[in-house]
Amino acid sequence: MDRKRNRMSKDLERIRSRQAFIIDMDGVIYHGNRLLKGSLEFVDWLNRKEKAYLFLTNSSERSLLELSQKLARLGIMVDPEHFYTSALATASFLASQCPGGSVYVIGEPGLIQALYDSGFTMNNVNPDYVVVGEGRGYNLEALERAVNLVLKGARLIGTNPDLSGPVENAIVPACGSLVAPIELATGTKAYFVGKPNPLMMRHGLRRLDARREDTAIVGDRMDTDIVAGVESEIETVLVLSGVTSLTDITRFPYRPKHILEGVFEIPEQGSAD
């Protein structure tokens, strides 16, 4: 027991020594509109210790301001500059590939606005790309249009490969599941920009102005957060507050460096300095 406790203490010391943190949101900070245990204290600790931190989310639905306002409603005040989304990463990638192009989008305002801001126009006739993110606009009519546009030559882009995501007391389909019918109907594989794509991680490190050796990534998903950290050689911290359980870990050929019950374990208990 003492050996296990000592190892856990050393793991926490190593995590706390990182100068920069890349943090997932769903399943790490909140479920839907329910704040997870210790999230407020964790963000307070980041600020007190003057850590560089970025909430890097595969969700494409909200703008940076909306994400900031959501955390504010949950009681955590964080400036929009501390957020980065798969919508922004997707828009940046497409702008580098096809400046001034056009897109047909299945997604929410956060994704649409990011594409507009990057110089893209909306086009449901002959777009350069079909871009799919999460959103309530996904229906049979949109699916049929997307399939036919891809068959006519539009390239298929997904904001992120997540198959599901946590909400309050439930799991819902995410972008990877919504793109799958289009892939099957067209025989075309989508290109996903969000985690674990190294592009997303490089964007995060640049925004933090941090070296990978000084950074830790905190997430709840083995197939996006943890593999992204492993492939980018960033310290990995898996929290069991989201979609991954201890028994799930053995299904993957890679392991996180650290496993915690939640972010509440990271701040020094009882410390205010």
The structural domain count of the chain equals 2
pLDDT tens per residue, range 231-267: 999 999 999 999 899 999 999 999 999 999 999 999 9
Geometric angle at alpha carbon 259, from 253 and 265, rounded to 5°: 165
The mean pLDDT of the chain is 93
User: pLDDT of 23-61, one tens digit each?
Assistant: 999 999 998 889 999 999 999 999 999 999 999 999 899
Give pLDDT, residue 64.
Answer: 96
Q: Which of 115, 117, 119, 113 is nearest to 100 (CA)?
A: 119
Assigned domain for 215 exists: yes
> Which of 192, 208, 241 is the C-terminal boundary of a domain?
192
Q: Are residues 132 and 165 in the same domain?
A: yes
Identify the residue whose tokens are 């599901």.
Answer: 164
Q: Please check whether residues 121 and 175 belong to one and the same domain.
A: yes
pLDDT the model gives residue 138:
87
Name the residue range of residue 111's domain.
87-192
Is the residue at 252 inside a domain? yes
Tell me if 241 is assigned to some domain: yes
- 135 in the same domain as 54: no
Whether 24 is a known active-site residue: answer: yes
**pLDDT bucket at 137, cuts 50 / 70 / 90:** confident
Catalytic, out of 26, 128, 220, 223 = 26
Same domain assignment for residues 186 and 94: yes
pTM confidence score: 0.89
Q: Domain ends where: 192, 222, 257?
A: 192
The reply to whether 26 falls in a domain is yes
Which one from 11, 24, 79, 117 is the annotated catalytic residue? Answer: 24
The reply to whether 95 and 142 lie within a common domain is yes
130/203 same-domain check: no
Give the domain CATH number at 136: 3.40.50.1000
Same domain, 184 and 201: no
Domain limit, last residue, from 144, 160, 192: 192
Residue 48 in any domain: the answer is yes
CA distance 13 to 103: 47
Domain assignment present for residue 34? The answer is yes
- Would you state the pLDDT for residue 20? 98
Indicate whether 126 and 104 sit together in one domain: yes
Q: Looking at the structure, do residues 176 and 234 belong to the same domain, yes or no?
A: no
Is pLDDT above 80 for 160? yes
Query: Residue 214 and residue 212: Cα distance in Å, rounded?
Result: 5
Residue 103 lies in a domain: yes
Q: Are 152 and 183 found together in one domain?
A: yes
Residues 186 and 101 in one domain: yes
Quick one: pLDDT band at residue 273, thresholds 50, 70, 90?
Answer: very low
Task: Based on the fold, state whether residues 209 and 159 are members of the same structural domain.
Answer: no
Q: What percent of the chain has pLDDT over 90?
A: 84
Q: Which stretch of 99-113, 142-156, 164-178, 226-240 has the lowest confidence by average pLDDT? A: 164-178
Least confident segment among 4-13, 46-55, 128-137, 227-236 = 4-13
Query: Does 77 reside within a domain?
Result: no
pLDDT at 215: 98
